């Protein structure tokens, strides 16, 4: 596993426990809405209602990036729900199409001039942690962009 970029952690926090849910979607224009509805339902049922709005926005941005910038046939959404943390991971099969972290665009002064490209900046500002991981080591086969949301006042 090769870690590409992360703000707070090099990989999604993975303490024991929690429930894991998975959704595999075809890479179509409706993937963002379907994943948004999936995550909203999970968080509402698991009593994480305070995280629903941020989770909806973040998962929409990450899935939309996978849809627009990769040629993957499937977009895989994995949600790990714990007592105080929720981690959402969105994987695609295009390991070379890495999103550019927002900090790099800001350094080059491009942020103000671009209409698009602010999705990961939103994720960075809303999430407790986020990052990108290329899976497969020397023979990469998949990339995952993940983010973790924490209940207010419960950052680990």
Q: Mind listing the pLDDT tens digit of every residue in the chain (156 residues)?
A: 333 334 444 455 555 678 999 999 999 999 999 999 999 999 999 999 999 999 999 999 999 999 998 889 999 999 999 999 999 999 998 766 555 555 544 544 554 455 556 778 899 999 999 998 887 767 667 889 999 999 876 555
pLDDT of 11 reads: 52
Determine the CATH number of domain 2-150: 3.30.565.10
Edge-first strand listing for the sheet containing 129-135: 2-6, 129-135, 142-150, 85-92, 74-81, 19-26
CA distance 54 to 65: 17
pLDDT of 84 reads: 92
* Domain positions in the chain: 2-150
Asked if residue 66 lies in contact with residue 109, where contact means CB atoms within 8 angstroms, the answer is: no
């Amino acid at each position: 596993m090769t870690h590409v970029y992360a703000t707070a952690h090099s990989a999604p926090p993975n303490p024991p426990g929690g429930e894991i849910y998975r959704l595999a979607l075809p890479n179509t224009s409706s993937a963002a809405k379907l994943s948004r509805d999936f995550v909203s339902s999970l968080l509402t049922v698991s009593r994480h209602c305070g995280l629903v709005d941020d989770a909806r926005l973040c998962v929409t941005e990450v899935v939309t990036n996978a849809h627009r910038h990769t040629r993957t046939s499937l977009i895989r959404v994995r949600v790990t729900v714990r007592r105080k943390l929720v981690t959402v991971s969105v994987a695609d099969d295009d390991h070379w199409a890495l999103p550019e972290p927002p900090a790099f665009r800001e350094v080059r002064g491009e942020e103000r001039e671009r209409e698009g490209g602010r999705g990961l900046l939103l994720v960075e500002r809303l999430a407790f942690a986020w990052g990108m991981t290329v899976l497969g080591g020397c023979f990469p086969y998949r990339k995952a962009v993940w983010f973790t949301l924490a209940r207010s006042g419960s950052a680990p």
